[in-house]
Amino acid sequence: MDSLADLYENLHVMVRRTKTAYPNLPLFVIGHSMGGETVLLYGIKYPQTVDGFVVADPVSIVKAPNSWSKGLTGDPKKQLPNVLSTGLNSDPRVVHRIQNDPANLHHLTVGILQNEIKGAYSLREHLTGFKDPLLFLQGQKDGLIDYHDSLEAYAMIASNDKELHVYSSLMHNIFDEPQRKWDIYSEVVQWINRHRY
């Protein structure tokens, strides 16, 4: 990732392609973690291009110190370990699967993390410009994203059609929590159904 714009501009390409391929269908964009940050940045840059957004445990304003916002100086190509353990999921089997999934990045570059922080600074300044329908989901025991940051970010969002769900016992990967994921999927589907036309 060379710049912060890579996040939301790549999403913009996918949105345009999807709308071209399926012009008569409603379109919703869902993002988790860094994908949630991407969704928020996109919604500010390209308002009213989709029917609604869902974010889950998004990187947002990053005011509280966390495990990944440290060591962000130096060569942008320098690799750092992607700590995939504490605060990810309440089920150790899921954590094990995440840690051993070759599709997960097990190293991040300083440049990627620097751009995530730039995104957080941008969101601090521009979240009041987010006006589209939004469902915001957050695990209160998230070990990567401080839920206080998420609550503050949610309060900054100017949309008149926003909804916040905080899960007191869940961690970062709320869509993978075995005891709650089907309930959460159902909440997302119900929200989407209320917003499609």
- Domain span at residue 127 reads 5-195
**What pLDDT, on the 0 to 100 scale, is given for residue 87?**
87
Q: How far apart are the first and last CA of the chain?
A: 36
Q: Per the structure block, which two tokens stand in for 148? A: 């206080």
**What pLDDT, on the 0 to 100 scale, is given for residue 57?**
94
Region 100-117: mean pLDDT is: 84
Do the beta carbons of residue 197 and residue 51 sit within 8 Å? yes
Residue-wise pLDDT for 121-166, tens only, equals 899 999 999 999 999 999 999 988 889 999 999 999 999 999 999 9
**What pLDDT, on the 0 to 100 scale, is given for residue 7?**
87
**What pLDDT, on the 0 to 100 scale, is given for residue 88?**
87
Mean pLDDT of the chain: 90
How sure is the predictor about 81, in pLDDT bands with cuts at 50, 70 and 90? confident
**What pLDDT, on the 0 to 100 scale, is given for residue 98?**
85
Phi-psi category of 149—alpha, beta or left, where left has phi over 0 and alpha has psi -120 to 50? Answer: alpha
Residue-wise pLDDT for 38-60, tens only, equals 999 999 999 999 999 999 999 88
How far is it, in rounded angstroms, from Cα 129 to Cα 197?
Answer: 24
**What pLDDT, on the 0 to 100 scale, is given for residue 69?**
57
How far is it, in rounded angstroms, from Cα 177 to Cα 131?
Answer: 30
**Which CATH number characterizes residue 70's domain?**
3.40.50.1820
How far is it, in rounded angstroms, from Cα 142 to Cα 93?
Answer: 17
Region 83-108: mean pLDDT is: 83
Count how many residues are written for the chain: 197
pTM exceeding the 0.75 threshold for the entire prediction = yes
Region 77-85: mean pLDDT is: 76
Cα–Cα nearest to 59, from 143, 116, 128, 6: 116
**What pLDDT, on the 0 to 100 scale, is given for residue 62?**
77
Cα–Cα nearest to 153, from 47, 45, 40: 40
How far is it, in rounded angstroms, from Cα 72 to Cα 87?
Answer: 21
Q: Per the structure block, which two tokens stand in for 105? A: 């990045």
Tell me how many domains the chain contains. 1
**What pLDDT, on the 0 to 100 scale, is given for residue 70?**
57
* Backbone φ, ψ for residue 161 (5° rounding): -125, 75
How sure is the predictor about 68, in pLDDT bands with cuts at 50, 70 and 90? low
Q: What is the CB neighbour count within 10 angstroms for residue 37?
A: 28
